[in-house]
Amino acid sequence: MRAYELISEAIPPLKTSDSIDRALELMSEYKVSHLPIVNDAQFLGLVSEEELLEAEDAARAVGDIQLTYYRPYVQENDHYFEVIRLVSSLRLSCVPVVDEEKNYKGCILLDALVYEMARLSAVNEPGGVITLSVNSRDYSASEITRIVESNNALVLSLLTRSKPGNGRIEVVLKLNRENLKDIVSSFHRYQYEVIDVFDKSAIEEDLMDRFDSFLKYLDI
């Protein structure tokens, strides 16, 4: 999935001639705390709600006030992982997309990003989830997949996260089956540490909790 495929057609960019009041109205309407500033298709920067609220005269043009313009963006052919990196590191509510000449192509909103993350993680597919803890030196995605498939199941998605300080990797498997008892037994037989097992109801509850935490982290 490339960045241009996630661009929202709804949210308009600001011009330097737009008033601070207009910028704040747009932020409120589209429920974002950042907006791109664009003149003649050229991306100039991203302005934050915090910067606008600090201005003394809300009737002044955005381009007339002293703003800390910074230019976080992704190029239109960047992978969506780069979008996630910017959102995570800078806590952005939207991510500008530009072409090779830095011409503005559009903006990616969080809802499109979350939807794509859910799709690629097979969140909406029926099935169960198993979380393993594996020594990083012993980690083998092919072996884990083979164990699952030997029980007539399929891995719909596989996510990993390193555990700092202990040399272990947490592996989250979304499988196409809800009854996971025999698969868990197989992992135990191969000396894998099974941390968590979720059935359908537990998955939905856990995903909602994680999604709510994600939104709180981004302050939206």
Domain endpoint, select from 63, 90, 117: 117
Domain endpoint, select from 65, 82, 117: 117
Contact 105, 7 (CB under 8 A): yes
What are the DSSP calls for 189-211, one per residue?
A: HTT-EEEEEE-HHHHHHHHHHHH
Average pLDDT (10-24) is: 91
Report pLDDT digits (tens) over 97-129: 999 888 999 998 888 888 877 777 777 788 899
Q: Is the pLDDT of residue 35 over 80?
A: yes
Question: Which tokens sit at 178?
Answer: 């809800």
Same domain, 108 and 209: no
Same domain, 60 and 111: yes
Burial of residue 219 (CB within 10 Å: 0-12, 13-18, 19+) is exposed
Count of domains observed in the chain: 2
Q: Which of 214, 2, 3 is nearest to 107 (CA)?
A: 3
Alpha-carbon span 114 to 144, nearest angstrom: 27
For residue 167, the domain's CATH number is 3.30.2130.10
Residue 24, SS3 per DSSP: helix
Domain endpoint, select from 86, 117, 148: 117
Same domain, 132 and 88: no
Determine the pLDDT at residue 201. Answer: 45
Average pLDDT (134-158) is: 93
Determine the pLDDT at residue 134. Answer: 92
Q: Could you list the residue range(s) of the whole structural domain that residue 57 is in? A: 3-117
Side chain identity, residue 4: Y
Give Cα separations from 54 to 34, 36, 97, 194 (angstroms): 14, 18, 27, 51
Contact 90, 72 (CB under 8 A): yes
**HSE of 7 in the Cβ direction (CA atoms, 13 Å)?**
21
Q: Cβ of 6: how many Cβ atoms within 10 Å?
A: 21
Burial of residue 128 (CB within 10 Å: 0-12, 13-18, 19+) is buried
Same domain, 139 and 111: no
Side chain identity, residue 191: Q
Task: Name the band, by pLDDT with cuts 50, 70 and 90, for residue 205.
Answer: low
Whole-model pTM: value is 0.68
Determine the pLDDT at residue 216. Answer: 64
Higher pLDDT, 206 or 131: 131
The DSSP symbol for 52 reads: H
Task: Name the band, by pLDDT with cuts 50, 70 and 90, for residue 162.
Answer: confident
Same domain, 192 and 143: yes
Side chain identity, residue 153: A
